[in-house]
Structure 1
Amino acid sequence: MDPRTSAQDLMRCDLCETAVVQMHCDTCLVNLCTSCVGKHMISDESKKHEVVKFQARKSTPLYPKCKHHIKERCEMYCNQCEIPVCTSCVASDKHLGHKIVKILQVSDERRNKIMKDITELNEKIYPTYQDIASDVQNRMSQLEKEYGDLSTAITKHGEDWHREIDKLVKKLKAEVDEMKNTQLQTLQKHLDEINKTMSDIKDEIDSVEIAIDTNDLSKLFSVTSNVDIYRNLPHKIMPSLPKFTHGTIHKELFKVFGALSSSSLTSEKDGYSMKTTQKSPEAGSSPPVKQLLDEPETVTTIKIYIHFTLLPFLYNVACLSDEEIWTIGGDNNMKLYSINQGSLLKSITTKSKNIPSNIAVTKSGDLVYTDYDRTVNIVKNEKIEELIRLQNWRPQGVCSTSSGDLLVIMDSNDGKETKVVCYSGSTEKQTIQFDDKGKPLYSSGNYYRYIRENRNLDICVSDNEARAVVVVNQAGKLRFRYTGHTPAPKNKGFDPRGITTDSQSHILTADYNNECVHIIDQDGQFLRYIDCGLSNPHGLCMDTNDNLFVALQSNKQVKKIKYLH
């Protein structure tokens, strides 16, 4: 419908503000009734007023009314104040020295920006959300099928056990249903959120398109785009199915029939990528490529003080920021040091007064440590809170993941089993212990073990007793074992201790015997040694700029090393 001829009875004269509009001044862009035409013509005789019938007015922009000068329109724009201004505003001292441009220039730029946002919403963001919704629906369908297969396998195995195991079969199937329902509910909630966002995007597209189509610049300037919010795609929810492991028929049915492993739902922040029409798009989260230096450089050395004990050694280091590091050694204190000054900033004693087993820093900057009293603890505002208390297991290595979860590697009290457990807060989400053939992934016994999540979400464990770095994917499936490289700097056996990863998905592990650090790629291929006077290297960590920090056990020093361009 033509806005010039529609709803005229609602438009009033700009001068008297009561009579219906009948005429229009194309010079001043003022709507007039017949009675006010003469008054308007003599109001400013310096202008050549072109008064025409309202229906015959030109398709000129409708400039915003000035807030400070009621009878004037804003044909200019103050870049400094970021507001439309009229000629009287420009002449006033309020905008003296400010850069004034034509408002049409600004409106064109604003219109182009909004059009680009609309194009992105239409062509990239909304279709991406459509693909995400389809992906979630497909996962739900696949989840239904796979859980159905799982129930069928349990039923088939249960038929061989007859009446004695009917109760056990029912119990296990109920567990499967509960796991399935929990995961489906989570995915349904995720899908509802995605659909809600898609609806919001569509509403915004519709409202913005209406504003763009009008010649009312006031409406155009009132438009705000939320495209920046929608560019942040949702996390990708990845369900992990439990496994059903059956045993042979035995009198002790419950022990040998079989059990379900834990199921889990993981959230990948960068699991989805934006839909694009480019042939070779680059992922927005991809880090810049960095090359290894020919010769690593020691940037600084920090001396760490350990209270006199029977074990006056330095064991581990964790970066709080690019300026501060946490350390632990042979006493019951966790110490925060300034990297640049080398000075002690803070010291916190463990709640149990035991020597901490390991430390890590969470995404929010809180310190986490494992204790020989079978607890995992978090330090918030210098107060220690017990996060996890284990039964029959002792925690060793700990790290914080990209999703904010905790990975803890632990040994059984009898020293016969080792496993990795993923926790969301204090809730167990996933257990990783055996390979596809049912064999242990990690060696047993009370030995050094450290853990780190790689950028590609692989879980990397430095297994000292096995003399290997064991790497599994996010689902817990073995990817590879790295058992060292020859020739080694000291020609001794591989003795892995601390482990860390960098922005290039390199895996770095300290080799205590050979007094060096091994660098391997994300697929386990050896790249290089860092061999620059590292006496008994033990703990490792990385800052946000890919600077490596090495805790030297006997020297009680932390070295900051640059090894990437």
Structure 2
Amino acid sequence: MASDIQFYFLLYQNIFWPQTCILINAKFLCLCEMMDPRTSAQDVMRCDLCETSVVQMHCDTCLVNLCTVCVGKHMISDESKKHEVVPFKLRKSTPLYPICTSHNKEQCIMYCKQCDIPVCSDCIESNQHLCHELSKILRVLNEKKDIIIKERNELNGTIYPTYQDIASDVQNRMSQLEMEYGDLSTAITKHGEDWHREIDKLVKKLKAEVDEMKNTQLQTLQKHLDEINKTMSDIKDEIHSLEIAIDTNDLSKLFSVTPNVQIYRNLPHKITLSLPEFIPGKIHEELCKLFGTLSPSSFTSDKNGYSMKTTQKSPEAGSSPPVKQLLDEPKTVTTIDTGYRELYRVSCLSDDEIWTRGNDSTMKLFSINQGSLLKSITTRSGNIPYNIAVTKSGDLVYTDYSDRTVNIVKNEKIEEVIRLQNWEPRGVCSISSGDLLVIMVSDDYKQTKVVRYSGSTEKQTIQFDDKGKPLYSSGLYYTYYITENRNLDICVSDSEANAVVVVNQAGKLRFRYTGHTPAPKNQLFYPQGITTDSQSHILTADHNNDCVHIIDQDGQFLHYIDCGLSQPYGLCTDTNDNLFVAQCGNRQMKKIKYLQ
């Protein structure tokens, strides 16, 4: 019993501090109370520094209990820290001692530095850590906290700002890279246009050779046909002579007739022609072979080429849209009030449903026959969409120029398809191949281009003509709309240029249409929405003259649609070639019949 008391007394004097004597071990508590009444479980808490005075203050930084006398001593003990000393009752937290892994439910109040683990009183009593350096666990906690504070300060003061500088540098390099790649693409485009000119020359030369071969073979067949027609005329004469002989009673004339049927039984030789074959050249060969050559033409004569048979019907011609004539006076079929303050865009989903866009962030789907609202979709960003279109699969596409994105609405969920850098998307359309055409303006409003996308992949850029001059005007407030014609031409209405700019599928300029005079209101041509129909007509809204221009696929003016329109903006056509006009002036959408 004496040895036990001696052990606990030494343990108390050399290791434990007063508040750590409140242990679960009943034997230890009892002995401590007999030795020093200050360690009694009923006694008040004592200062960790002087271990005498009653605790009145607490340092939240170091987790140390202090009396008022020892506060100053503690503050200057480590001036590298920002000590937060508060009244004890206002302390942020009380330390939660770890539970010993060897002795269940025992709290670890000491830390063995040799073993690098927290230990409880039972661990110390068992002599497992005899002669080991033991430290108060709160002291170890404070040391660890000092390390963490130092690392946090390094992260805040040095490392994170460095990463910010790095990120800024990467973004700058990305912007620079975007510009340099743009210059590279422009150089490639210009060089490609030089090659196109040479290829056009080769095409012209080869097509001339084709025409010459065709004419030679046609002349041969024409000569052959003339011979056959001559023989057919002789046969008819022979038939006539024989019929006269049959009808005559003059025996001398009858005996003088000698039929030549045997001659005509020998059919003429059949002329077989071989068409020239286009043989593409290989990549590594010179330019003329790179594009391709023509094999020589030839003639053969086949004696048994023809046979006695009945005439066959010629194969049916390929299907093409029926020809429709323009009405002298277009007719308004129906009018729908969309509820917008101003109406700007329309795009047909079907012959009975149409999407609209006005002066807010909501896009509305209307029933054309009933004029009722079917659905509303709000842009993800809350911005006003610039343009809307419907894809071949029936999904709604819209451009958000403020957010620099092109988005698609599938099952009423909005997905971002394209995000641009340094460019703002304006007009958009879905074309026959399933690709998207987007016309966009640079952030400095000095460049405008058309880009073809397959999904989010850029496939083609159209920006300059053969002389390297911009195809489209550029500016902050200019409007651009785009569509594809049935012949695959790309048509853009350019308000600043007061023109409709049409290029072919390869991006080569075909023509510019700059209006027709006299205009209904004698105002300057100011094109807005643009669309096409089954006849390859191009229709564009003229905002200044309250009308729609109809031109053919080669840019020739055909007709005005002028039936009481009020500031027409957006246009679209359905599968029956009905025209839908978004009127900004009265927020109404008109359905117009203009073809027979």
TM-score by length of 1: 0.51
Aligned counterpart in structure 2 of residue 438 of structure 1, from 464, 468, 472: 468
1:527 aligns with 2:558: yes
Aligned counterpart in structure 1 of residue 405 of structure 2, from 372, 375, 395: 375
Letter in 2 for 1:283: G
For the Cα contact (< 8 Å) 2:281–2:289, is it kept in 1?
A: no
Aligned counterpart in structure 1 of residue 281 of structure 2, from 130, 137, 141: 141
1:332 aligns with 2:361: yes
Alignment match, 2:317: 282
* Matches for 1:355-374 after TM superposition, within 5 Å: 355-372=384-401, 373-374=403-404
Of structures 1 and 2, the one scoring higher in RCO (CA 8 A, sep 6+) is: 1
Supply the distance in 2 between the matched residues of 1:329 and 1:528 (Cα, whole angstroms): 28
Letter in 2 for 1:363: K
| Deviations, residues 302-358 of structure 1 (Å, cap 9, x unaligned) | 11012xxxxx31110000000000000100001000001111100000001000000
Q: 1:545–1:149: structure 2 CA closer, same or farther, 3 Å change rule? A: same
Aligned counterpart in structure 1 of residue 526 of structure 2, from 467, 484, 495: 495
Alignment match, 2:507: 476
1:398 aligns with 2:428: yes
Q: Secondary structure at the match of 2:524?
A: coil
1:298 aligns with 2:346: no
For the Cα contact (< 8 Å) 2:282–2:289, is it kept in 1?
A: no
Aligned counterpart in structure 1 of residue 488 of structure 2, from 445, 457, 470: 457
1:536 aligns with 2:567: yes
Letter in 2 for 1:304: T
Letter in 2 for 1:320: L
Q: 1:342–1:392: structure 2 CA closer, same or farther, 3 Å change rule? A: same
* Matches for 1:162-311 after TM superposition, within 5 Å: 278=314, 282-284=317-319, 286-306=320-340
Alignment match, 2:540: 509
Supply the distance in 1 between the matched residues of 2:584 and 2:456 (Cα, whole angstroms): 31
For the Cα contact (< 8 Å) 2:537–2:551, is it kept in 1?
A: yes
Alignment match, 2:373: 344
Give 5+ residue unaligned stretches, structure 1: 1-130, 151-179, 181-275, 307-311
Q: How far off is 1:149 after superposition? A: 9.7
Q: 1:289–1:305: structure 2 CA closer, same or farther, 3 Å change rule? A: same
Supply the distance in 2 between the matched residues of 1:562 and 1:405 (Cα, whole angstroms): 29
1:408 aligns with 2:438: yes
Supply the distance in 1 between the matched residues of 2:541 and 2:329 (Cα, whole angstroms): 17
| Deviations, residues 521-546 of structure 1 (Å, cap 9, x unaligned) | 00000000000000000000000000
Letter in 1 for 2:422: N
Letter in 2 for 1:427: T
Q: How far off is 1:469 after superposition? A: 0.1
1:448 aligns with 2:498: no
Q: How far off is 1:294 after superposition? A: 1.2
Supply the distance in 2 between the matched residues of 1:350 and 1:549 (Cα, whole angstroms): 23
Letter in 1 for 2:454: S
Supply the distance in 2 between the matched residues of 1:465 and 1:277 (Cα, whole angstroms): 56
Q: How far off is 1:144 after superposition? A: 5.8
Supply the distance in 1 between the matched residues of 2:286 and 2:346 (Cα, whole angstroms): 43
Instruction: Quote the sequence identity (%).
Output: 76
For the Cα contact (< 8 Å) 2:386–2:398, is it kept in 1?
A: yes
Supply the distance in 2 between the matched residues of 1:545 and 1:517 (Cα, whole angstroms): 18
Q: 1:553–1:278: structure 2 CA closer, same or farther, 3 Å change rule? A: same
Over the residues paired in the alignment, what is the CA RMSD in angstroms?
2.4
| Deviations, residues 489-546 of structure 1 (Å, cap 9, x unaligned) | 0010001000000000000000000000000000000000000000000000000000
